[in-house]
Amino acid sequence: MAMATQQKILLLDDDEKMLDLYQELLKQLPSKPEVHVSNSGARAIALLESEPFTLLITDLRMPKMDGLQVLAIVRRKFPHLRIIVLTGVLDEEYRSRAYAQGVEMFWQKPASSEEIKLFQDCIESLLDRETRNEGGFRGMQSKSLVDLIQLECLSRSSSVLHVTQGALHGKIWVQNGEIIDSATANFTAEEAFKEILSWKSGNFEILPADLNRARAINNSYQGLLLDSAQALDEWRGQQVGAEKSGAGGASASSSLLSPLTRFEGVEFVLTLPIDERGPSDSWALENVPQVGAWARTAHRRLAELGEKLHVGALAQVTGTGLQGHWALARDEKKGLLCVGFRRTLPADKVDQTMKHVFTKWVS
Amino acid sequence: MGFLSHFNEAPKPELKRLPSGTFTIDADCRIVSSTVPGWVPEAQVRDIGQQVLAVFQGARNANLPFSELIVQYAAFKITAREMRGGAIIFLSPRAPQIAAMH
């Protein structure tokens, strides 16, 4: 009798022999997944539409619809599906494009028994993670960032934690179980640590220790975690207070958007919900309907262009000029964010500032 | 380990590369000059130009004028500068950004 938690894998490759071989290898996994195969992108998509799968393993080079085209479609239609690329293509560009489409791993087709074992272990580990349905930061293991920091410190490790959330990057230097420094694009030391802790989700990797790193944080890791938790609580309290004190209409909207306006150079803010019939929020913008309609149209056009080109998700659109600058970014749950910047803000700072405003908005 | 020979793939069709290079278009979206490789379909280049010009035009109508547009996709970047109603457009495939901090 099949177990209720049995995982389903879909293998996509145009080479029937490879399909047979991988199917055999995957069936040997301890979790005994159900393995389905497809020799074309179109059939794979049809299978994905007909029943739920845990994991798609796909080749890149295939006739008619290549793997990158399949990735673009699958990522849009099945955003939660885990995807692994297994290919003989070793070009860095394709690797980058595959990762840009949100694949979990990019594997060169194994060429030795050791590599096959490693591949099987990786798949098993990923399926196991899915069975346990763990959220949190995704790196070598699924852990919350606080857990990970505590583990590193309690085990008196020396390492560098590299944490990413979308386009934002941060590093935390740990030496003999003490946090000695931290850095993000705009902050250093404790401020950077607090910023990283404010990211709700993301990815991490553990890099080798940097023993030459000078100490810039003298607080204990327990103190740092407490301070960060307190700062987050205070900020959330302010958000709730703002929602409760707002009398509705423009003043409520302004209060909710006001944290976004504190970034350097912000001139106006406009948020547009996913549902086009829903109300927009704005701060310091006069022609809301015109800018709103343009922002939606421009973002949709450029996102469609990206889909046609198979270049991954549209991350950000920025316009700079003598009269001012603006930037557009979209969150799948919250909608579209359009921010205007003063012309005095250097054009090269618009991009980075927008990333911070966007992160604040989505978190 | 004879079965490992199956891992040596036979030649397969090449994957499509992303367009790269620079081109200029006039206000009617005609391509005036281009360094985009010949294997990139002209219709695709013109499509990119049309979308860019539409964004410039829409922004002017919304009273949000600007002169340079940067469109960042996960694996691709389009940079466009307005030129007398037309535009010069730079296309550059890119790798996801890796942190280079300190």
Interchain CB distance below 8 Å, B66 and A164: no
The type of residue at A103 is V
**Contact assignment for B55 to A18 by CB distance below 8 Å:** no
What 8-state DSSP symbol labels residue B79?
E
Q: How far apart are CA A28 and CA A33, in angstroms?
A: 9
Residue A338, domain CATH: 3.30.450.30
- Mutation pick from A113, A115, A309, A352 vs chain B, by most beta carbons of B within 10 Å, is A309
Contacts of A268 in chain B (CB under 8 A): none
Q: Return d(Cα A38, Cα A11) in angstroms, integer.
A: 6
Claim to verify: residue A264 and residue A294 sit in the same structural domain: yes
Question: Closest residue of B to A187, CA-based?
Answer: B101
Q: CA–CA distance from B1 to each of A111, A115, A122 (Å)? A: 10, 13, 21
**A289: number of Cβ within 10 Å:** 9
Residue A342, min C-alpha distance to chain B (Å): 12
Shortest CA distance from B18: residue in chain A: A309
> CA of A166 to nearest chain B CA: how many angstroms apart?
10
Mutate to test the interface with A, among B16, B48, B66 (most CBs of A within 10 A): B66
On whether the CB atoms of residues A325 and A350 are closer than 8 A, the answer is yes
Is residue A235 included in any domain, yes or no? no
Are A214 and A271 contained in the same domain? no
Q: Please tell me whether residues A286 and A332 are part of one structural domain.
A: yes
Model confidence pLDDT, tens digit, residues A253-274: 455 777 888 788 888 899 999 8
CB contact under 8 A, A291 and B62: yes
Buried b (16+ CB within 10 A) or exposed e, A244-260: eeeeeeeebbbbbbebb
Q: Is A262 helix (H, G, I), strand (E, B) or coil?
A: coil
A113 shares a domain with A27: yes
Size of interface A-B (CB pairs under 8 A): 172
Residue-level pLDDT at A139: 46
Same domain, A255 and A333: yes
Put simply, the answer to whether A311 touches B74 (Cβ < 8 Å) is yes
Task: Enumerate the residues of chain B whose CB falls inside 8 A of the CB of residue A347.
Answer: 68
Task: Out of A297, A312, A321, name the one closest to residue B58 (CB).
Answer: A297
Instruction: Compute the CA torsion angle A216, A222, A225, A229 (nearest 10 deg).
Output: -140
State how far residue B3 is from chain A, nearest Cα, in angstroms: 8
Count how many domains chain A has.
3
Closest Cα in chain B to A115:
B4
Residue A106 resides in a domain: yes
B59 vs A97: CB contact, 8 Å cut-off?
A: no
Using an 8 Å CB-CB cutoff, list chain A residues near B70: 316-320, 351
Same domain as A147, residue A126:
no
A224 and A272 in a single domain? The answer is: no
pLDDT the model gives residue A46: 84
> What pLDDT does residue A285 have?
82
Asked whether residue A349 is domain-assigned, the answer is yes
A129 and A149 housed in the same domain: no
Q: Which domain holds residue A308?
A: 247-362
CA angle B48, B34, B26 (to 5 degrees): 65
Question: Which pairs count as long-range contacts for A13-20, CB under 8 Å and 24+ apart, including other chains?
Answer: A13/A37, A13/A39, A13/A58, A13/A59, A13/A62, A13/A86, A14/A39, A14/A40, A14/A59, A14/A61, A14/A62, A14/A63, A14/B12, A15/A39, A15/A59, A15/B9, A15/B10, A17/B6, A18/A59, A18/A109, A18/B6, A18/B7, A18/B9
Q: Do A97 and B16 touch (CB under 8 A)?
A: no
What tens-digit pLDDT sequence spans chain B (102 residues)? 555 555 555 566 667 788 999 999 999 999 999 999 998 999 999 999 999 999 999 998 888 888 999 999 988 999 999 988 899 999 998 765 443 333
Other C-beta atoms closer than 10 Å to the C-beta of A317 total: 24
- The interface pTM score, or ipTM, of the predicted complex is 0.83
Subunit contact B12:A63, Cβ cutoff 8 A = yes
Closest residue in chain B to residue A325, using alpha carbons only: B66
CATH of the domain at A111: 3.40.50.2300
Clarify whether residues A26 and A84 are in a common domain: yes
In one letter, which amino acid is A30? P
Quote the minimal CA–CA distance from B89 to chain A in Å.
14
- Rounded to a whole number of angstroms, the distance from the CA of A56 to the nearest CA of chain B is 19
Looking at A205, A230, A255, the residue that finishes a domain is A230
pTM: 0.55
Last residue of a domain, one of A230, A262, A288: A230
In the prediction, which pLDDT does A250 show? 40
**What is the distance in angstroms between the Cα of B87 and the nearest Cα belonging to chain A?**
14
pLDDT by position in tens, chain A (length 363): 444 467 899 999 988 888 888 888 898 888 889 999 888 888 888 888 888 898 999 998 887 778 888 888 888 788 788 899 888 877 777 887 887 777 888 888 887 888 888 888 888 888 877 766 654 454 444 457 787 788 788 777 788 888 877 667 889 999 888 899 999 877 888 888 888 887 766 677 777 788 889 999 988 888 888 887 777 666 665 555 544 444 333 443 455 777 888 788 888 899 999 888 888 888 888 788 889 999 999 999 999 999 888 888 899 999 998 888 999 999 988 899 999 998 888 888 898 899 889 988 887
Cβ burial, residue B72 (10 Å; 0-12/13-18/19+): buried
Residues A184 and A264 in one domain: no
In a domain, A236, yes or no: no
Report the distance separating Cα A45 and Cα A73, nearest Å. Answer: 8
Do A20 and A128 belong together in one domain? yes
Q: Which residues contact A50 (CB under 8 A, 6 or more apart)?
A: none
Closest CA to B62 of A346, A298, A199: A298
**Residue in chain B lying closest to A343 (CA):** B66
Tell me the chain B residues in contact with residue A340 when contact means C-beta distances shorter than 8 Å: 64
Q: What is the largest CA-CA distance in chain B?
A: 69
Single residue among A65, A100, A133 that ends a domain in this structure: A133
Extents of the domains making up chain B: 28-93
Interchain proximity A112–B4, CB inside 8 Å: yes
Task: For residues A217 and A181, state if they share a domain.
Answer: yes
